[in-house]
Amino acid sequence: MNAPGLGGLTGREVLALRGLRFLGSPAMRKIYLTSRICASFVPFLLGGCAGWSQETKQEEAAYQVLGVLDGAQTLQGLKHPKCYAEANPPLRGHPGASEVVAWRAFVGISHAGITEFLVKREASPTALRVWEGLGIGAEGKAVVLNWQLGAKPWGARC
C-alpha cells in the first residue's frame, strides 16, 4: 500500500524515512530518498551490465560514487547561499535541491547508458578506459574542489 502524496512510498518506507533523524538535515534525507528511488532503477541498469568487463564495472562504480558525493556536497552547499554557488553550467548559481537531485540522476543514468552503448558497439578497451577516465577525472575534480571550499557530504562550513 502506497502512502498518498509521498511519491508512491510504502507505509514502511515512510516510517523508515521519519526515523532518519540521525541523518540530521533535510538535504541528507533527500539524498536517502533519491538513493531509494534510484535503487529501483538499478536492476534495469545492471541487467545490461552482463557484458561489461570487471574493469568497466569497477570504473563505472567509481564514477557513480563520485557523482553521489558531488551531489551530496552540492546539497550541503545550498544551505549557505552566501558562501557557495554552484559552478556546474546547467545548475549555475543557487539551484533548488530538486534540481540538483534530478540533474545528478540524469547524469548518472546517462553515463551508465553511454557506457552500455560503447560496450554493445564493441568499442575498444582503450576507448572505454578513456571514457571512464574522463568521467572519473571530472567528478573527482569536482569532489576535491568542493571539499577544499568546505562543502562536505555531511555538512558545509561557511
Across all residues in the chain, what is the average pLDDT?
Answer: 77
Q: What is the pLDDT of residues 2-25, one digit of tens each?
A: 344 444 445 444 444 444 444 455
Q: How confident is the model at residue 114 (pLDDT cuts 50, 70, 90)?
A: very high
Query: Quick check: pTM over 0.75?
Result: no
Percent of the chain clearing pLDDT 90 (strictly above): 30
* pLDDT value at residue 135: 96
Rounded Cα gap, residues 31 and 158, in angstroms: 21
Q: Nearest Cα to 68, choosing from 50, 42, 94, 48?
A: 42
Q: How far apart are the C-alpha atoms of 147 and 153, rounded to whole Å?
A: 9
Domain borders along the chain are 26-156
* pLDDT value at residue 17: 42
Give whichever of 51-60, 63-72, 132-141 has the largest mean pLDDT.
132-141
User: CB count, 10 Å around CB of 142?
Assistant: 19
Q: Are 147 and 73 in contact (CB under 8 A)?
A: yes
